[in-house]
A = this chain, B = another copy of it.
Amino acid sequence: MPDFVRPDREMTLGEIAALTRAKLRAGDPVERRIGNIAPLDTATASDISFLDNSKYLGDLSGTRAGACLITPRFAASAPRGVAVLETAHPYPAFVAVTRALFPTMLRPSSLYGVSGRATASHVHHTARLEANIIVDPLAVIGPRAQIGAGTVIAASAVVGPDVCIGRDCAIGAGVTIMHALIGDRVIIHPGTRLGQDGFGYLPSPRGHQKIPQTRRVIIQDDVEIGANTTIDRGATRDTVIGEGTKIDNLVQIGHNCLIGRHCLIVSQVGISGSVTVGDFAILGGQVGVADHITIGAGAMLGARAGVMSNVPAGARWGGFPAEPGGDWKRGVATVRRLVRRGRKSEKEPEGEGE
Contacts and interface: CB of A to CB of B under 8 A. Distances in A.
A111 B108 CA distance: 25
A142 interface: yes
A122 interface: yes
Contacts of A214: 5, 36-37, 98, 102, 105
Contacts of A122: 112, 120, 137-138, 155
Nearest to A136: B140
Contact of A224 (B210, B222, B236, B286): B210
Given A38-B236, A228-B191, A203 B3 contact: no
Interface in A165-214: 172-174, 176, 178-179, 181, 187, 189-191, 193, 196-197, 199, 201-205, 207-214
Contact of A341 (B38, B120, B202, B280): B202
Contacts of A341: 202-203
A261 to B, nearest CB: 8
A111 B161 contact: yes
Nearest to A204: B345
Interface string A248-280: 111010100000001010111010110000001
B267 A199 contact: yes
A227 interface: yes
Given A2-B164, A190-B176, A196 B138 contact: no
A106 interface: yes
Contact of A179 (B4, B37, B162, B176): B4
A292 B154 CA distance: 32
Interface stretch (A23-31, A79-87, A327-335): A327-335
Contacts of A124: 112-113
Contact of A205 (B142, B181, B346): B346
A105 B236 CA distance: 13
Interface of A: 1-5, 36-39, 42, 91-92, 95, 98-99, 101-102, 105-106, 108, 111-113, 120, 122, 124, 136-138, 140, 142-144, 154-156, 158, 160-162, 164, 172-174, 176, 178-179, 181, 187, 189-191, 193, 196-197, 199, 201-205, 207-214, 216, 222, 224, 226-230, 232, 236-237, 244, 246, 248-250, 252, 254, 262, 264, 266-268, 270, 272-273, 280, 285-286, 288, 290-293, 303-304, 306, 308, 320-321, 330-331, 333-334, 337-339, 341-342, 345-346, 352, 354
Q: Which 9 A-B pairs have the closest CB atoms?
A: A203-B342, A105-B212, A290-B333, A102-B212, A193-B227, A230-B249, A176-B190, A2-B162, A173-B176
8 contacts: A113-B161, A160-B173, A196-B227, A207-B222, A209-B352, A228-B228, A252-B267, A288-B303
Given A154-B158, A306-B330, 17 more contacts: A1-B164, A111-B142, A112-B124, A190-B196, A203-B345, A204-B342, A205-B280, A209-B345, A209-B354, A226-B230, A228-B229, A230-B267, A249-B252, A266-B272, A288-B304, A288-B331, A303-B306
